[in-house]
Structure 1
Amino acid sequence: MKKLLLAAAITTLSLSAAQAAPTLYGKLNVTIDQFNNKDFGNENVTEVNSNASRIGVKGEEKISDTLSALYLAEWEISVDGDEKDEQTFKKRNIYAGLKWNGIGTLKAGNYDSYFKTAAASKNDIFNDHTFDMTSMMYGEERLKNVIGFETDPKLLAGVGFNLMLQQGEDKTAGGDNGIGDAISSSITYENKDLGLALALAGDFDVQGKYSASSFGSTKQASDAFRLAGSYDLGKIGVTGLGLNALYQTAEATSSAGEAVNLEEDAWLVNATYKIGQTPWTVKAQYQTADTSWTGNDRTVDQYGVAVDYALNKQAKLYGLLAQQERDWGTEDTQSVFGLGMELNF
């Protein structure tokens, strides 16, 4: 009997440990890219790039029938070996939180702003590549020192409310040191039966880059609004075709330094078409950003196409061709032709 009870106890502990085990996940996204006039210079170069390849662990611990503790820790890895500042791992989303089943999730840590996630992957077919939205538009930020709450979309028939408070933690006199010094928020809606997804997002005093400005590498505290939408035309008989669009406007809230009257208007539109029962998907995208500040007005545009070949649900081969044009500087175009493989696990 003692041996039987011991075996049962060990089995119970083993099952509990198995249920609590973290999940290892990641993405390897490697391309061979041929750049012409890279960074609007006069350099033509062939590169192997990692494109934000990543690895992470995540998990959820059940506390009660309605409450769970959850966690996620994710790092960018350099598949091509070009670690910046000798960093093999670069932190991405890292957080811990509590999840109330059917109500929502409270998270704290360092993770993507709700302004950024409002776009979702469908609104940028070059996501993670050198020529993705980040290279042109304000708002693609991962915020540190944040507390966020996300309602469960099932609670309100597909509508989700998301609110993120960022603490400035500035110890200098007059600096930001209270709760919610910056705010990122969004309202989302998704209905898979209709093939429709919508999002309205707002940033308030959130630091972000204006890439088309002369000080594009310096983040500026800004207020911004973003509207994004996706529609699956297969729901009305055009099987395989999806349309996606995004519009946003941003304005710096500080007039310090060069950022006087700094504003940006940007938008993009793209289409994806999966060819019947084949593994082929064709994509096309146009995006533009107009940035102005006192005495200056600059515009950058991008045109691009991509073709995916799905090997299975986790892996694909792809090719892309894109060009950016700007209306200032001695070199006004840069372009890329790339071939790559993406593997998710």
Structure 2
Amino acid sequence: MASFADPITVYGKANVSAQAADEGEGSFTELKSNASRFGIKGDLQVDDDLEVVYTLEWQVDLADESGSDNIAARNQYLGLKGNFGTVLLGRNDTMLKQSQGKIDQFNDYEADIKGLWKGENRMGDSVTYISPTINGFSAGLTYIAEDDVAGDDAQSLSVSYGDKNLKQSNWYASIATDFNVKGYDSQRISVQGKFDALKLGAILHRQELAENGDSKDGVLVSAAYTLGKIVLKGQVQTLEDDKSLSVGADYKLGKSTKAYIWYTDRGLDVSEDKSWLALGLEHKF
């Protein structure tokens, strides 16, 4: 990250892959911009125990042919932080989405867990509260006003323990639930642990249509093993009879840059199976 002047930080990442895809109706090749983004964020002390915090982030499609309409809003909010916790107003990931931490080893790629599961929501008209961390535990609540959920308000809650980046602790765990977020009630139990060079994670997921109570269950198990500059990764995700299997490897080229390769095979119960093979490059700033 680069800081031009306190308290503003400019940050982002560029991630582009060349992919061979088979999505059931035929095979093709493409360049894919995997949630490449840029943003600014900062904080300003306005009192001894009070800070103003803000984030303005956009997604950019580096592989877009025309170059038009390739910028989209991501998390954008303004808030206050103090001894009471943090309150954020604006567009933000729900607490259920945030509760996965870093368990999804193929986040932003075709194997992102949103490919099978509901609940990966970024909502406008939202108020987010995150409590202070006490003995490793913290809680969060997202309230979404009626304007963004077609006539009904919605809530997303989570309770977590540990550090989701696994840098300050070797364990992370969370319980989260959605109430009527985009028409679904969802629940997740997530856990991840670090054992020297090995990271293991798992998520139990349940989603239910709020309108008729139709429900589906799923499981995700992920692993990452660091071997020098190489990180080997694998992940299995299910939703009833739908399954997604992914394997891949990252190669560290520098402090903020990596090359990667991955393969995903998705078997679907009521539609054509799909698969992708990708080779790409990511740089963070």
More strand by share: 2
Distance 1:30-1:224 versus aligned 2 partners, 3 A rule: same
Structure 2 CA distance for aligned equivalents of residues 253 and 81 of structure 1: 36
Q: Counterparts in 2 of 1:1-345, with a 5 A limit?
A: 18-20=5-7, 22-36=8-22, 38=23, 40-41=24-25, 43-82=26-65, 86-100=68-82, 102-120=83-101, 122-153=102-133, 156-169=134-147, 175-176=151-152, 181-190=153-162, 195-207=170-182, 221-234=183-196, 240-255=197-212, 261-275=213-227, 278-290=228-240, 299-329=241-271, 331=272, 333-345=273-285
* Residue 194 (structure 1) shift: 5.1
CA distance in 2, matches of 1:34, 1:18: 42
Q: CA RMSD in A?
A: 1.9
The change in CA–CA distance for 1:334 and 1:161 in structure 2 (over 3 A counts) is same
Q: Secondary structure at the match of 1:116?
A: helix
Provide the rounded CA distance (Å) in 2 between the counterparts of 1:170 and 1:65.
Answer: 35
Q: Return the alpha-carbon distance in structure 2 between the equivalents of residues 305 and 270 of structure 1.
A: 10
The residue type paired with residue 335 of structure 1 is S
CA drift at 1:104: 1.2
Residue segments in structure 1 that go unaligned for 5+ positions in a row? 1-16, 208-220, 235-239, 256-260, 291-298
Query: Rg bigger for which structure?
Result: 1
Residues 1:171 and 1:98: Cα distance change in structure 2 (over 3 Å): closer
Counterpart-to-counterpart distance in 2, 1:318 and 1:112: 26
Task: Report how far residue 328 of structure 1 moved.
Answer: 2.4
Give the letter for the 1:60 counterpart: D
Residue 157 of structure 1: how far off its partner (Å): 1.4
Normalising by structure 2, we get a TM-score of 0.93
| Separation of aligned partners in 1, 2:138 and 2:144 | 20
Q: Deviations over 1:230-282 (max 9, x none)?
A: 00112xxxxx0110000111111113xxxxx421211100111001xx20110
Amino acid at match of 1:306: G
Count matched residues.
279
Q: Deviations over 1:78-132 (max 9, x none)?
A: 1112479x313100100000010x5411001011001001002x22111101221
CA distance, structure 1, for counterparts of residue 252 and residue 195 of structure 2: 21
Task: Judge conservation of contact 2:52–2:80 (CA < 8 Å) in 1.
Answer: yes
- Name whichever structure is richer in helix by fraction: 1
How far 1:193 sits from its partner (Å)?
6.1
CA contact (8 A) 2:249 2:262 kept: yes
- Whole-Å separation in 2 of the counterparts to 1:162 and 1:82: 40
Q: Is the 8 A contact 2:124 2:148 kept in 1?
A: no
2: CA distance, partners of 1:19 / 1:56:
15
Give me the whole-angstrom Cα distance separating, in 1, the residues matched to 2:66 and 2:43: 31
Q: Equivalent residue of 1:70, what SS? A: strand
Structure 1 residues 83 and 289: alpha-carbon distance in aligned structure 2, compared to 1, 3 A threshold = farther
- Structure 1 residues 223 and 29, CA, compared in 2 at 3 Å: closer, same or farther? same
Q: Secondary structure at the match of 2:97?
A: helix
Q: CA deviation at 1:312?
A: 2.1
Contact 2:118 2:184 in 1 (8 A): no
